[in-house]
Amino acid sequence: MAKAVNTLAALSQQLRTGSVSSRELTEDSLLRIARLNPALNAVITSCEDRALAAAAQADKALASGDVSPLLGIPMLHKDIFCTRDVRTTCASKMLAEFIPPYSATVVNRLETAGMISLGKCNMDEFAMGSSNETSFFGAARNPWDTARVPGGSSGGSAAAVAAGFATLATGTDTGGSIRQPAALCGITGLKPSYGRVSRYGMIAFASSMDQAGPMARTAEDCALVLSAMAGSDALDSTCSDQPVPNYAETLEQSISGLRIGVPKEFFSHHLDAAVADAIDRAIKELEQAGATIVDVSLPSTDLGVSTYYVIAPAEASANLSRYDGVRYGYRCENPADLEDLYTRSRSEGFGPEVKRRILVGTFTLSAASYDQYFMKAQQVRRVIANEYDTVLDNVDVIAGPSAPNTAFVLNDQSKSITDMYMEDVFTIGANLAGLPAISVPAGLVNGLPVGMQLIGRRFDEARLLNVAHQYQKRTDWHTLSPDLGGLV
C-alpha cells in the first residue's frame, strides 16, 4: 500500500503553475498503461498519438493563459462511449471492429474542456455484469489483488484510476456499475441523477436507468468533472435542462446539522460483517462531523434486484436488436439466408450473459407475460421510488454500503448468476428511483477496499459531493493506493 500519487485537482494546479506540462502527464500515463495494463487488462484501446497531439494543443492553450480547470489533464473513457474515429467496442465481439463517426456528448464536453483522452477502458460486455468477467476482451483485474475482480460493469475504469493510469475515467451506472467497482477498487465514483448527464453516444443498455458519471480518486475531482459533463443536450430528450451548479463551490460547506438516514435494510444478511463494521465506522465519522444520524427504512430494498432484472433486460432486448449483422458490427460468415444471418450473427457476436438478458427481456415483454412481469415490475419500481422520496423528505442524504462484499476472486464457480446479481442489491434502488449516489472509499477489509454509498435527492449532486468531500477531509482511505510493484 502506498499513498496516492495525485488527484485531478492537484494536477490542475501543477499544470497552471507550469510545474508540469500536459505532455509530461500524458506521457507518464501512457507509459504507466503500457507497463501495467498487461497485468490489469483495464484498457482495451489506447490512443497514444491522439493523446499526445491533444496534449500539445493543451500545452499551447496553457501557455497562452487558459485557466480552465480540466485543461490538459489525461483521462480514460469507458468503452461504452462512442469516440469519433476511435474503435468503440462495448467489450463485445459484436462491436470489436466498430469505429463510430461521431462522439458521445460526454466525450465532446470533456474534450472541449481540454481533457486528454488516453483510450478506452474495459468493461462487462454491453455493461452487463458486476465483475468485468463478461468482457469479450477478457476480465480486467483488481489492482489490489489481481486474482480478484475489479467489479463491474465499469471495472476497467475503476481499475485504471486505482492503478494511477489517470486521475479520471468515465463510467456508466445502470444498476451500480460505477459505484460497485469504485468500492471494490478503492476509488470515488458518482452516479448522477437520471437526466443529469446526456446519454447521447453512450451505447444503451437499459435506457431508463443508464447514467454516465465520473470515477476519480476524490469527491472534489468528481465535482470538477461533473460540472463539465452535466447539462441539457438537444440530442437527448431525457436529459434535464435543470441548471448545472458549480459543484466545487459547495464542497466546503459544513455538514453540521445535516440529517443522514441509514436504512436498516442495507444492513441485512446480504452484507458481509466486516464490511458492515467498516460502514458503521464511516457513518460514525459523519456523525462526528456534526451530521445527525437517523434510522430509516426502505422496506422494498430486496425487491429491487428482481424488479431491475425484469426492466433492464426488457429494455436491453430492444436496445440490442440493432446488432443484426446488416449494417455494421459482427456478421457471420456466409449466411444462407436472412434468418441465418440474424441467428448466427447474434449467436456468435454476443456473449452468454448478454444473450441471457436478451432472452429474459424478450420473455418478459411477450404478450403472455407482459402484465405479470413487465407491468408488475414498473409498479414495484414506482413503490421503490416513492419509498426513497419519502425517506429523502426527512433526511438530506442516505448512507450505507455500496456493495455487500469486498472484491471477490475471478472465475468463482461457487458464485451463481443470482449471487452475482445480488452484488447490486444496495445500488439498484438509486437507479430505479433516478437518484444521484456516490461511493467513497471507507476502509479496508483484509487489505481490500470497502465503499460507503451516499444517496441524495434528485439533482442534488452538490449535497452528495459536499458530504463526500467533508468525509474525505476527515479520512484518508481515498488516498490509499495498491502496491503495484510486483506487476511490472
Partner 1 sequence: MQWEKVMGLEVHLQLATQSKIFSSSATTFGAAANSQTNPLDVALPGTLPVLNHSAVTQAIVFGLGIGADIGRVSRFDRKNYFYPDLPKGYQISQFFQPIVKEGIFDVPMEDGSLFPVRILRAHLEEDAGKSVHDAIPGHTGIDLNRAGTPLLEVVTEPDFRTATQVVAYLKALHALVTYLGISDGNMSEGSMRCDVNLSLRPKGESEYGTRTELKNINSFRFIERAIQIEADRQQDLLDSGDTVTQETRLFDPDKDETRAMRSKEVANDYRYFPDPDLLPIVIDDDTIDQIRASLPELPTAKRARYISDLGLGDYDANLLTQDRATAEFFEATCTICNNPKAAANWIVGELSAALNRVGNTINDCAIRPDGLAALITRIDDGTLSSKMAKTVFDALWAGESDVDRIILDKGLKQVSDAGALEAIVDELIAANSAQVDQYRAADASKQKKLIGFFVGQAMKASKGQANPQLLNQLLKEKLSAS
3-state SS of 436-448 is CEEEEEEEEECCE
Q: Is 46 a catalytic residue?
A: no
Contact region for partner 1 (CB under 8 A) — 148-156, 362-370, 390-398, 449-457?
362-370
- Please tell me whether residue 109 binds partner 1 under the rule CB under 8 A: no
- Please tell me whether residue 365 binds partner 1 under the rule CB under 8 A: yes
Binding to partner 1 by CB under 8 A, coded x per residue (else -) over 178-207, reads: ---------------------xxxxxx-xx
- Please tell me whether residue 31 binds partner 1 under the rule CB under 8 A: no
- Please tell me whether residue 317 binds partner 1 under the rule CB under 8 A: yes
C-alpha cell at 402: 455500496
- Please tell me whether residue 488 binds partner 1 under the rule CB under 8 A: no
C-alpha cell at 311: 426492466
Q: Is 60 a catalytic residue?
A: no
- Please tell me whether residue 374 binds partner 1 under the rule CB under 8 A: yes
Q: What is the rounded CA–CA span in Å between residue 212 and residue 227?
A: 13
Q: With contact defined as beta carbons under 8 Å apart, do 181 and 135 qualify?
A: no
- DSSP structure string for 137-165: T----BTTBTTB---SSSHHHHHHHHTTS
User: Minimum Å distance from CB 483 to partner 1?
Assistant: 38
Would you give the DSSP letter of residue 296?
Answer: E
Binding to partner 1 by CB under 8 A, coded x per residue (else -) over 235-254, reads: xxxx----------------
Residue with cell 483510450: 119
- The catalytic position among 177, 193, 227, 345 is 177
3-state SS of 389-403 is HHHHHHCCEEEEECC
- Please tell me whether residue 313 binds partner 1 under the rule CB under 8 A: no
Contact region for partner 1 (CB under 8 A) — 132-140, 292-300, 309-317, 434-442?
309-317
Would you give the DSSP letter of residue 197?
Answer: B
Q: With contact defined as beta carbons under 8 Å apart, do 113 and 61 qualify?
A: no
- Please tell me whether residue 344 binds partner 1 under the rule CB under 8 A: no
Contact region for partner 1 (CB under 8 A) — 221-229, 263-271, 349-357, 366-374?
366-374
Buried b (16+ CB within 10 A) or exposed e, 329-357: bbbbeeeeeeeebbebbbeebbbebbbeb
**Site residues, partner 1 (CB under 8 A):** 81-82, 88, 90, 95, 98, 100-102, 104, 199-204, 206-208, 234-238, 314-315, 317-318, 320-322, 324, 326-328, 338, 342, 362, 365-367, 370, 374
Active site residues: 78, 153, 177
